[in-house]
Chains A and B, each alone.
Chain A
Amino acid sequence: MGSVKLSATNQVTHPYPLRWRSRTYAILGLLIAFVAVVAFATTIGSVQIPFFTTWRVLLSQLPLVDITPNWPSTIETIILEIRLPRVILAGLVGAALAIAGATYQGLFRNPLADPYLIGVAQGASLGAVIGFLLPFEWHGIGFGIIPILAFAGAVLSVAIVYSLARVGKTLPVTTLILAGVALGALWGSIVSYLIITSGEKIHGIIFWLMGSFSLSEWSEVRVVLPYVVVGVAIILLYARSLNIMQLDEEQAQQLGINVEKVKLILLAAATMITAAAVSFVGTIGFVGIIIPHAVRLIWGPDHRFLLPLSVLTGGVFLILADLVARTALAPMEIPVGVITAICGVPFFLYLLRRKRRAVFF
């Protein structure tokens, strides 16, 4: 056979398997941290519940754990029906925004890309604002019409951007970004106009736009969870392809990647999870751009590690940010988007200075 033959010997030792092993440990460590942070955040809130009582309530919910309840049922309701769904939703949204940001950055080979770059956020905002301004209320499936309209707005917006940017059988990335930014600006100006004419509903709209997890319920977790799980799984499958697409498209094709197909799949998956996340909690900023960069600075640009590490770091970060948002000025709630910026940006700038190397390219 005429082919390059490189006799594969397994004796060679060099840093690579070692480096992969340490990154795998980082994933496992963060997974444990994620669970710990969920439990920790659930113990803190406006009603004082002893630390160990909270843990006992949480553990009693696990299968195969036998703890006889010795706490009042109101405490169980606060922990299981108010705090836990909120913490879990925050974790899901943080994970979704972080991996969507990492995916868009990789796909567009652009360090400034975030999950909202191609019109998802502006489309969702327009849908949500229209929902706020509807003259009637509708509670068909437990969470009102606003998330449904926000989701529709987000997906529709990206679909329009996509069809505008498509040239024949290919999707030039620059055209996609420009079309997304332009259409996003259009939606944004319509949203601004609707806000100033919205009268007394303005407070609710502004709060939604800045993002908040107040009023989170299990019904919302149940809707967001499948999108995030499926979306994240699809994106993780294409981690190696994303690495190779950091070369130019021509080289990626010559290395066996069906570039247009991968672009379409990743775009669809990242858009779906972003839209699902944003629809319920509003357009929370900074998570999608800062978390992937922080992960890159610490663990390097390899998407096979960058993507899962972003999922976990994003989840942990947003749970903690929401914890600050609901407790710092209690009983007043701060929009979580404000906290992500106030807490996230200094940490990110610290990393940037400490590592002193190119963030991305």
Chain B
Amino acid sequence: MIKLEVQRLSLAYGRDVVVRDLTFRVMPGEMVGLIGPNGSGKSTIIKALSRVIDPYSGKILLNGKDIAKIRREDLARLLGVVPQMPLLPSTFTAFEIVLMGRNPHLRLLQYEGARDVAITWRAMERTATHSLAERRVGELSGGEIQRIVIARVLAQEPESILLDEPTANLDISHQVEILDLIKNLCLENNLTVVVALHDLNLASQYCDRLILINSGRVHAQGTPIEVINPQNIKEVYGAEGCVYSHPVNRLPTVLLKAGSSKHTKPGESQRS
């Protein structure tokens, strides 16, 4: 069982502190959403959790062990990442990209064996990408690339998955398809999942708990019902959001109203 703990984490680019004093914990089988406006620090937090950038202060613990002290290949066996808009070399085939997920399991002198090939193939079947195996990445659509990268994370066989806006630029059917897949993986395998999302409705539908970030600080954290309420939306986004409960599952749902932004003059905001 893997547990991800963030303790009083601050992150900075140079001397420019962008995330301050962040503390949260994710338990196995739990899907936690990072939500907040553009530039609030969601992607930076994902980068820090995967040790691409080092903390300015504070600690990130995986099963009680500081990730700064875990070797990179060991960390990659525990934790896989689906980056936002991943850049892939266009002449590699989809299969070759997914196979790269096996890297942390292989030694320097070891080549991918039958077992790695079989695992890669299963990961592609799980994400319905096996029919794309022979295609070059340059020929694939955005949604297909997103699924290829998720297959790569599965081939990595991690215990925890971090996703940075996995549904950006996808249409609604692909958004639901990808998040359903991740949610199922999380529940079936008892994974620890952290997902940065800008779409509040998707976050509300899929995440067990949400962390609302505003300019690098935690504004609220808790269940979707606790976090997504008109007051928080107004305070963080400055927009007059109308929060309703979803007609089927009662989860909070945000509907927007034209002319409700903070840039609108008071007289105009009542336009209907």
B21 to chain A, nearest CB (A): 25
Contact of B75 among A5, A256, A358 (CB under 8 A): A256
Hey, what's the 0/1 contact readout for B86-113 against A, CB within 8 Å counting as 1? 1111111001110111011010110110
A-B residue pairs in contact (CB < 8 Å), sample of 23 = A1-B1, A2-B160, A2-B192, A3-B157, A4-B185, A6-B122, A6-B157, A8-B119, A9-B118, A10-B118, A109-B89, A250-B83, A254-B50, A254-B81, A254-B83, A255-B101, A255-B152, A256-B103, A258-B73, A301-B89, A358-B138, A360-B91, A361-B91
Contact of A244 among B86, B100, B134, B192 (CB under 8 A): B100
Other than the given A243-B100, A247-B97, 15 more pairs (CB < 8 A) read A2-B29, A2-B160, A4-B159, A6-B119, A8-B119, A14-B121, A15-B134, A16-B95, A237-B108, A237-B109, A240-B103, A254-B52, A256-B74, A257-B73, A258-B73
Contacts of A16 in B (CB 8 A): 95, 99, 117, 133
**Chain A interface mostly:** loop
Known interface pairs A3-B191, A17-B114; A258-B72 also in contact (CB < 8 Å): yes
B69 interfacial contact with A, CB 8 Å: no
A304 interfacial contact with B, CB 8 Å: yes
Contacts of A302 in B (CB 8 A): 92, 96
Name B residues whose Cβ lies closer than 8 Å to a Cβ of A: 1-2, 28-29, 47, 50-52, 72-77, 79-81, 83, 86-92, 95-97, 99-101, 103-104, 106, 108-109, 111-112, 114-115, 117-119, 121-123, 126, 130, 133-134, 138, 152-160, 185, 189-192
Contacts of A109 in B (CB 8 A): 89
B103 to chain A, nearest CB (A): 5
Hey, what's the 0/1 contact readout for A36-52 against B, CB within 8 Å counting as 1? 00000000000000000
A300 interfacial contact with B, CB 8 Å: yes
Instruction: Please count the residue pairs between chain A and chain B whose beta carbons lie under 8 angstroms apart in the complex.
Output: 141
Size of the chain A interface, CB-CB below 8 angstroms: 42
Q: List the 4 closest pairs (A to B, CB-CB), nearest first.
A: A256-B76, A256-B104, A2-B190, A256-B73
| CA distance in complex: A100, B148 (Å) | 31
A68 interfacial contact with B, CB 8 Å: no
| CA distance in complex: A14, B28 (Å) | 34
Known interface pairs A10-B118, A237-B109; A251-B86 also in contact (CB < 8 Å): yes
Contacts of A10 in B (CB 8 A): 114-115, 118
B208 to chain A, nearest CB (A): 15
Contacts of A256 in B (CB 8 A): 72-77, 103-104
Hey, what's the 0/1 contact readout for A1-37 against B, CB within 8 Å counting as 1? 1111111111010111100000000000000000000
Contacts of A244 in B (CB 8 A): 100, 103
